[in-house]
Amino acid sequence: MKTLSENKSFGGTQGVYSHMSEACGCEMTFAVYIPPQAKDGPVPCLWYLSGLTCTHENAMTKAGLQAHAAEFGIAVVFPDTSPRGEGIANDEAYDLGQGAGFYVNATEIPWAPHFQMETYIASELRDLVTENFPVSVHHGITGHSMGGHGALTLAMKYPGHYQSLSAFAPIANPTASDWGRKQLGAYLGADETLWTAHDATVLVKEKGWAGDVLIDQGAGDQFYELLKPAALIDALTETKTAHTYRLQAGYDHSYYFVSTFARDHVSWHAERLKG
């Protein structure tokens, strides 16, 4: 693991690091914020998964999570959204290829050799972070848009990994949306029965979530129809999964929306991870 930068922030440290990923077969970059409370021992860890076109840097610089993480004493991990670099498959469209890994393990060519983001996030990077940073065994996960999709699906597929869950404007029902069908078909092939393992609306019914979940959605989100939040809320209600869904009047899909409600989410996770 290489240290690319470390800066003091709200009494803690915001670092950016890189390593050679066995899962993705290339060098991957990620960021970790360690709060000042870590000086006294391991702290809970919140994973923030970003959306389409993002790198580790977008949320790190725009979401304002460091101030809240320092207040509540939790670490925050900001992974990249896909493998990158020369020789890595890509597409001219912004919503496929580099910057658009969708947090799945691709099985189709040309994506399969490198696009193994599910294994990377849930296993390889998790092990790297827990071995090299002062974080405890208590982990939560959140994310925005495509990252909200990743947070919801990984939490339900790996229930022992995460003890708290939230999402900002997640892609909630990708098997029924153009933000999902295109990518799942490209990465996983034409058999749509394989796609459902990566659809939060379906997973709630098939696997469930033992805890509660917080979801914020902007009522003025320009991508509302692609996100399909109503399908997920119906599934959560049908399965009697405890949830708090907040439709925020006037807010769009941007990081202005995320940063406005970021403290609520950090507080949500801190309460559950520390409790």
Can 80 be counted among the known catalytic residues?
no
Can 178 be counted among the known catalytic residues?
no
Choice among 21, 50, 145, 164 that is catalytic: 145
Asked whether 35 and 273 are in contact (CB, 8 A), the reply is no
Choice among 68, 114, 253, 269 that is catalytic: 253
Asked whether 48 and 85 are in contact (CB, 8 A), the reply is no
Can 221 be counted among the known catalytic residues?
yes
The radius of gyration of the chain's CA atoms, rounded to the nearest angstrom, is 17
From the CB of residue 143, how many other CB atoms can be counted at a distance below 10 Å? Answer: 31
Name the strand (E) or helix (H) holding 55: none
Residue type, 106: A
Asked whether 217 and 247 are in contact (CB, 8 A), the reply is yes
Cα 63 to the center of its chain, rounded Å: 13
Q: How many angstroms separate the CA atoms of 139 and 154, rounded?
A: 12
Choice among 149, 221, 243, 265 that is catalytic: 221
Q: How many angstroms separate the CA atoms of 249 and 256, rounded?
A: 13
Residues noted as catalytic: 145, 221, 253
